[in-house]
Structure formats: structure tokens, C-alpha cells
Structure 1
Amino acid sequence: MDVVVRTADGDDLVAVLNVLDGAALATDYARVRDRVRAEDVIVAGPAGDPGRVLGACVLDGAEIVAVAVRRRRRDRGIGSALIATAARDRERLIAECDADAVPFYESLGFDVRPLPAGRYVGVLET
């Protein structure tokens, strides 16, 4: 499936929140809304219907606050496309994650290191 990756706008806010919620990620409505307003949220949708949100990446400067793809659309390169788009406009990206996300970030070139309490941090110098 071909996807279109673009900067989210205010009309995408509910869809972004739904994608994050569907991935069981802790979601702070105000923070996500503020990041959308700051044009720091990237979304991916099918080429034939780019208004439909299949994945989202919420950024706060270099920090990846959250990245998620709808469950039935995973393992199709959507998350990778979101991160690649984010990396184009930044000198570095930083992501804190659980152990299950480490292979994803490592596959994209992040240098991932352990943190206390079973968490990890990955850094990508672009």
C-alpha cells in the first residue's frame, strides 16, 4: 500500500488521538493538541485517501513523544515512513521506549541504550 506522509492539521486531532489510544499509549490531549498547532505531528494515510490517518508521530522538537500505527496496518513501513519524515527536518531524534520497541528503533539506525526501570532511550543523529 502506498502511503502519503504529511504534517497534521487541526482536523486530524481526533484521528491522531484514536491511533495513539489504539496502540495503548498514554495520551495527553492538551500536549497532542499543542503539538498539532505547532506543526510537530506527522500523519500517514493511504495514497487514495490521505485524509484518513493510519499512523501518527507526535514530536516535541527532537523528542518523539509517541509514534503509533493502527494495529491492522503495522509491519507495512508506515512507522518507518513517519520517522524518516521526522528525521528529514531535524539534526537528531530522541525516543524513550519499552523493550518491545527497541528492535523498531534499532532497525532505523537509532543508538539504543538502557535506562532505569526497564526503559530505553534511542538517539538518531541525522
Structure 2
Amino acid sequence: MTAEGSRPDLPADVTVERATPGDRLDVLRVLDAAMLSTDAATVDSRIDAGDALVARSARTGGVVGALVAVRPDPDRLHVDAVAVRRARRGEGIGAALVAAALDRGASDPAVAAVTATFDAELRGFYEGLGFAVRPAGGADDGADGRSERLEGRFSANGRERY
């Protein structure tokens, strides 16, 4: 459900699906390898809620990427962590995971927006997926348009705006 209405292309040997309890350890390992701090209890609760996704190799069945989304407000799905195994980066797997989270938000009538907070160097990645981006904390961009941390918002229902 990107701005263009289509999902990014995935490698032929990868599928994106909801994580299952059996994926828990793999999700934690992928996130840990990317040095992202998401605790096990959060991963467990998001798997149970259907808000954790995995990218799985069709060839090996192994998890090559993971996304964990939380619900800080009843009407918001927030991408808490997304990571792809180092050997599989640059193949569109991360973009496909985020696009699947956008689809998840759009399919839930209670969700008005999908949000993410990220480093400035990822601005183009999130803008390319249809997120409106601004400096974290709600401030307008400075004169140079740069900020260390940014936040993105994607309208899940077509009406939500910054």
C-alpha cells in the first residue's frame, strides 16, 4: 500500500508473512544483529497481535528479515524495528517488510496512520514508500532540511495528515 499503490519487488526466493511464535528466536536474532533494541516481551506480544512480520527464504525457510510494529495509540501502528540480514541487504526486503506493515495498517479500520522514527540517512527510503517525513519531535526542518532523527507518517485511511 505504498504511495504508488504497489508493493516493492522482492527477490523471487523471499516471501513476507506474519511472524509465528516459532519465528520468535529468529526475529530476535535478526534485530540483534542489526543492533536494534527490541525486548523479547515486545516481540512476543507483537507476534501474538499479528503486528510482527518476517521475510522468509523460500529456498531455506530461514528468516532473512523482520519487522516489529507496536501500537502506542489505538489508532496508530508504529514501526518499532525493521532489519534484514547483512547478506540480504539491498534486495528490497526491508522495503517489502515496511510495505507489508502499511498494508496491515490499511486493512485495520482502527488504524489511521502508520508511523516510524529513523535516522536521517533513511529519509529517502521512507519517502519512497509514501511516508511524509519531518524532524522527530514535530519541529519543522531547519534551513538545511536536516535532522539527526526523523519521523514518518503514512495515512492508512487517506485522511490522516501531519
Q: Which residue matches 2:89?
A: 74
What's the CA shift for 1:115? Answer: 2.1
Q: 1:15 aligns with which of 26, 42, 45?
A: 26
1:64 corresponds to 2:79 = yes
Corresponding residue pairs, total: 125
Query: 2:78 is aligned with what amino acid?
Result: E
Query: 2:133 is aligned with what amino acid?
Result: V
Q: Which residue matches 2:150?
A: 120
Q: Which residue matches 1:96?
A: 117
Question: 3-state DSSP class of the match of 1:105?
Answer: helix
Q: TM (normalized to structure 2)?
A: 0.71
Q: Which residue matches 2:63?
A: 53
What's the CA shift for 1:119? Answer: 1.5
Cα offsets for 1:8-58 (capped at 9, x unmatched)? 011100000010011111121111111112121010012233x31000110
CA RMSD of aligned residues (A): 1.6
Cα offsets for 1:64-90 (capped at 9, x unmatched)? 011110111011010111111111121
Distance 1:84 1:115 in 2: 21
Distance 1:29 1:113 in 2: 30
Q: TM (normalized to structure 1)?
A: 0.90
1:33 corresponds to 2:48 = no
1:106 corresponds to 2:106 = no
Query: 2:115 is aligned with what amino acid?
Result: I
Question: 3-state DSSP class of the match of 1:20?
Answer: helix
Distance 1:78 1:71 in 2: 11
Distance 2:148 2:95 in 1: 24
Query: 2:91 is aligned with what amino acid?
Result: R
Q: Which has the larger radius of gyration?
A: 2
